[in-house]
């Protein structure tokens, strides 16, 4: 299957700082990427849909000013958690959709905000 990478795999930051997470589709071009969040013992929750060259579409209840998404190329989308707080600590997972369309997921980024 297609490969999607995420960087970093884990990050620890202080409250109030911003954190950027990168998502790359390594062997295919993805016009659409997705960002999910997963809390312990819960299922994945879709946060937003990212389309190359346009603004992201956020799910209800997700603050677009807090979770900034940029999809500047067909292989790269970034999620920036601005002014992070302990309640933002979670497992963030991206996915990229290939032409089939099938979504392939990255390995996830564990964010811990102190």
Partner 1 sequence: DAKTTQPPSMDCAEGRAANLPCNHSTISGNEYVYWYRQIHSQGPQYIIHGLKNNETNEMASLIITEDRKSSTLILPHATLRDTAVYYCIVFNDYKLSFGAGTTVTVRA
Residue (10 or 15) nearer to partner 1, CB: 10
3-state secondary structure of 87: helix
CA dihedral of 96, 40, 13, 82, whole degrees rounded to 10: 60
Give CA–CA dist 82/96, Å, rounded: 23
Give CA–CA dist 82/68, Å, rounded: 7
Residue 44 CB, shortest distance to partner 1, in Å, is 4
Residue 15 CB, shortest distance to partner 1, in Å, is 24
Total residues at the site for partner 1 (CB under 8 A)? 24
Site string for partner 1, 66-105 (x = CB under 8 A): -------------------------x-x-x-x---xxxxx
Provide the token pair at 16: 């109030």
Residue 94 CB, shortest distance to partner 1, in Å, is 8
Residue 51 CB, shortest distance to partner 1, in Å, is 10
Interface with partner 1, residue 15, by CB under 8 A: no
Provide the token pair at 45: 């929750």
């Amino acid at each position: 299957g297609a490969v999607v990478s995420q960087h970093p795999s884990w990050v620890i930051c202080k409250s109030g700082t911003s954190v950027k997470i990168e998502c790359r589709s390594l062997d295919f071009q993805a016009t659409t990427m997705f960002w999910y969040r997963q809390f312990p013992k819960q299922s994945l929750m879709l946060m937003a849909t990212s389309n190359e060259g346009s603004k992201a579409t956020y799910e209800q209840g997700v603050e677009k000013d807090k979770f900034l998404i940029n999809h500047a190329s067909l292989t790269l989308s970034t999620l920036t958690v601005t002014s992070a707080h302990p309640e933002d600590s979670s497992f963030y997972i991206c996915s990229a959709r290939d032409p089939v369309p099938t979504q392939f997921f990255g390995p996830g980024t564990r964010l811990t905000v102190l």
